[in-house]
Amino acid sequence: MKTALRFTALVMLAAILAACAREVVEEPTPPEPPEPTERPPVETDRVDPRDFSDARNLDNPDSLLSQRVIYFEFDRSNVRSEFRPIVEAHAEYLRANSSARVILEGHTDERGSREYNLGLGERRGNAVEELLRAGGVSSRQIEVVSYGEERPVCRESNEDCWERNRRTEIVYTAR
């Protein structure tokens, strides 16, 4: 009984919070971001991690397809050679799965002006897009969105954080 009561209270609280959130936000809420890779563990022993056409490898930590962040140097937007195999793996996947779609989210560190950084973030997204296109991926499968410095993954003002924030994230909206 006690548990049931507590449970009802929890549900109500959640409902109230949900309703509140709607009250407070005055602009339409954006579409849900695609779920991060929280899927049941893949039976990796039966998958070849080098088979980049296989969707199971997107969640297989042994496969390059599970890597979806490309990092950049300060004020640069060229994809460094060490990241090319990752992009090429995704190109192969997208080529083999024509209904798959990606958003390339371009990001920068916090230094410099925000609007210029929007441009820089887009350039980083475009650099990955060009590589995917060169790998035979259709432009219909790709969208580039720049967030500039507005969405850091690391919030301290030091080189370690800046390095982690200068990135393009490959986000699958359809697999």
Binding site for other proteins (CB under 8 A): 7, 11-12, 15-16, 19-20, 23-31, 33, 75, 110-116, 118-120, 122-123, 126, 144-147, 150-151, 155-157
Question: What is the nearest approach in angstroms of other proteins to the Cβ of residue 115?
Answer: 4
Which runs of E-coded beta strand occur in the chain?
69-71, 101-107, 142-148, 167-174
Among residues 122, 97, 103, the alpha carbon closest in space to that of 169 is found at 103
Question: What is the nearest approach in angstroms of other proteins to the Cβ of residue 150?
Answer: 4
Q: Which is nearer to other proteins, 50 or 74 (CB)?
A: 74
Question: What is the nearest approach in angstroms of other proteins to the Cβ of residue 155?
Answer: 6
Q: Which is nearer to other proteins, 48 or 159 (CB)?
A: 159
**What are the backbone dihedrals phi and psi of residue 104, each rounded to the nearest 5 degrees, phi first?**
-100, 105
Q: Which is nearer to other proteins, 30 or 46 (CB)?
A: 30
Tell me the three state secondary structure of residue 142: strand
Residue 14 region by backbone torsions, left for phi larger than 0, else alpha for psi between -120 and 50, else beta: alpha
Question: What is the nearest approach in angstroms of other proteins to the Cβ of residue 53?
Answer: 28
Q: Which is nearer to other proteins, 18 or 96 (CB)?
A: 18
Radius of gyration, alpha carbons of the chain: 20
Q: Which is nearer to other proteins, 65 or 102 (CB)?
A: 102
Residue 136 region by backbone torsions, left for phi larger than 0, else alpha for psi between -120 and 50, else beta: left
Question: What is the nearest approach in angstroms of other proteins to the Cβ of residue 131?
Answer: 16
Q: Which two tokens stand for residue 172?
A: 């699958």
